[in-house]
Amino acid sequence: MVQHSTGPLAGLLVADFSRILAGPYATMLLADLGAQVIKVESPGGDDTRTWMPPTRDGVSTYYLGINRNKRSIALDLKNPDDLTAAQELARRADVLIENFRPGGLARFGLDYDTVTAGNEKVVYASISGFGTGAGADFPGYDLMVQAISGLMSLTGAPDGPPYRAGISVFDVMAGLHASIGILAALHHRTTTGRGQHVEVNLLSSALSGLVNHSSGYVAGGTVPFRMGNAHPSLFPYEPLPTADGELIVIAGNDGQFRKLCQVLDLPGLPDDPRFGRNQDRTANREQLRPLLVERLAKRTKDEWFRDLLAAGVPCAPINTIDGGVALAQELGLDPVVAVGDVPGVRNPITFSDTPARYELPPPGLDEHGEEIRAWLKS
């Protein structure tokens, strides 16, 4: 099996034993950058093949969104011939990534210790929900982690129920962390000749990804609470009403607040001791908000968006997904790429010399099985 791709990771073979979201997202990013990814699926296929609607030509768009640039082989690890193929793939791989429950691959001889006995250069990446200790038996679903980590306690109206984020945010974070760990381990391998075990779990990714909130508790002893769309440490940093709808308005520093006041024709506010510094604006937000809202009510959100942005004040309309894609296109970011006849979202990383590739559409189940089996026997 010959790889013709280019990219910064060209020449690397990734054995992808992961499924659902975190692992497949990580391996798609690696595949976009040139790695040859072989997606190992059970005979029933990756669960996301059945997660629908929405669909495109009868195929789950959830699956399509995280599996381009891969080849698929269906292997039943309880079948001796299929298990032999899986073990041979692991022996040849530069990277193996899996998200079985901790220890789940040991009975197949595909655990870290067994694989590295025959392939000491492999970078073996494991993604779990809650690590390999006391949480090893916990199922690793993003919604569980959103609840357990505290994210849901921060999401929603102050007097309403907690909410999940609109995406599986910690699966995505864990996939990104896994990619970073794999790349770091590959660099280490270039200097030592040895691979290593890279472990990522959703809860640790969540606590890292909660950044200022988790730091506020760990370093400051403060347990944060739901504030709707407000920010605990900045004001304004939230939607504010205009004549025809809400507009996100941000003053990330004192200079931006001064510019905001100039556009709103409120020149005295920056010199008011209640509002001159960020910490003062945050402490006195209930006095400042009505002053801003009164001025914003005089014009439409589009008019304010144009003028505030021109003055260097961060602001944004609240779009649906189609609006976000349209604006990215308008800004020249070319957010949509064609992979065969399947549209996809462009890899967000731009390289000056080794651009991302979009060569293979998301594979059908076992689409490349015959080719891969022949190669593994060669």
Taking only the tens of pLDDT, the chain with its 378 residues reads 656 678 999 999 999 999 999 999 999 999 999 999 999 999 999 999 999 999 999 999 999 999 999 999 999 999 999 999 999 999 999 999 999 999 999 999 999 999 999 999 999 999 999 999 999 999 999 999 999 999 999 999 999 999 999 999 999 999 999 999 999 999 999 999 999 999 999 999 999 999 999 999 999 999 999 999 999 999 999 999 999 999 999 999 999 999 999 999 999 999 999 999 999 999 999 999 999 999 999 999 999 999 999 999 999 999 999 999 999 999 999 999 999 999 999 999 999 999 999 999 999 999 999 999 999 999
- Asked whether residue 99 is assigned to any structural domain, the reply reads yes
Query: Do 196 and 53 belong together in one domain?
Result: yes
Query: Do 316 and 346 belong together in one domain?
Result: no
Q: How far apart are the first and last CA of the chain?
A: 10
- Asked whether residue 232 is assigned to any structural domain, the reply reads no
Query: Do 138 and 253 belong together in one domain?
Result: no
Query: Do 30 and 170 belong together in one domain?
Result: yes
The CATH number linked to 67 is 3.40.50.10540
What pLDDT sits at residue 7? Answer: 93
- Helical pair 169-192 and 202-209, crossing angle rounded to 10 deg: 100
- Asked whether residue 243 is assigned to any structural domain, the reply reads yes
- Pairing relation of β-strands 245-250 and 315-317? antiparallel
What pLDDT sits at residue 121? Answer: 98
Domain boundary among 326, 347, 363: 326
Two tokens at 165? 């984020």
What pLDDT sits at residue 8? Answer: 95
Is-catalytic flag, 280? no
d(CA 61, CA 282): 42
What pLDDT sits at residue 6? Answer: 84
What pLDDT sits at residue 92? Answer: 98
DSSP H helix total and E strand total for the chain: 15, 13
Two tokens at 317? 């309309």
What pLDDT sits at residue 95? Answer: 98
Number of domains in the chain: 2
Two tokens at 189? 């391998």
Determine the structural domain holding residue 200 and report its residue range.
Answer: 13-210+335-377
Query: Do 339 and 317 belong together in one domain?
Result: no
- Asked whether residue 5 is assigned to any structural domain, the reply reads no
Query: Do 192 and 257 belong together in one domain?
Result: no
Query: Do 253 and 187 belong together in one domain?
Result: no
Distances (CA, A) of 45 to 4, 114, 220, 242, 361: 26, 25, 46, 49, 16
Sequence letter at residue 182: I
Query: Do 284 and 348 belong together in one domain?
Result: no
Residue closest to 125 by CA, chosen among 87, 86, 96, 91: 96
Q: How far is CA 350 from the centre of its chain?
A: 17
- Asked whether residue 282 is assigned to any structural domain, the reply reads yes
- Asked whether residue 230 is assigned to any structural domain, the reply reads no
d(CA 74, CA 249): 50
- Asked whether residue 102 is assigned to any structural domain, the reply reads yes
- Asked whether residue 121 is assigned to any structural domain, the reply reads yes
Query: Do 57 and 151 belong together in one domain?
Result: yes
Query: Do 46 and 176 belong together in one domain?
Result: yes
> Which is catalytic among the residues 46, 111, 142, 171?
171
Query: Do 41 and 122 belong together in one domain?
Result: yes
Query: Do 277 and 192 belong together in one domain?
Result: no
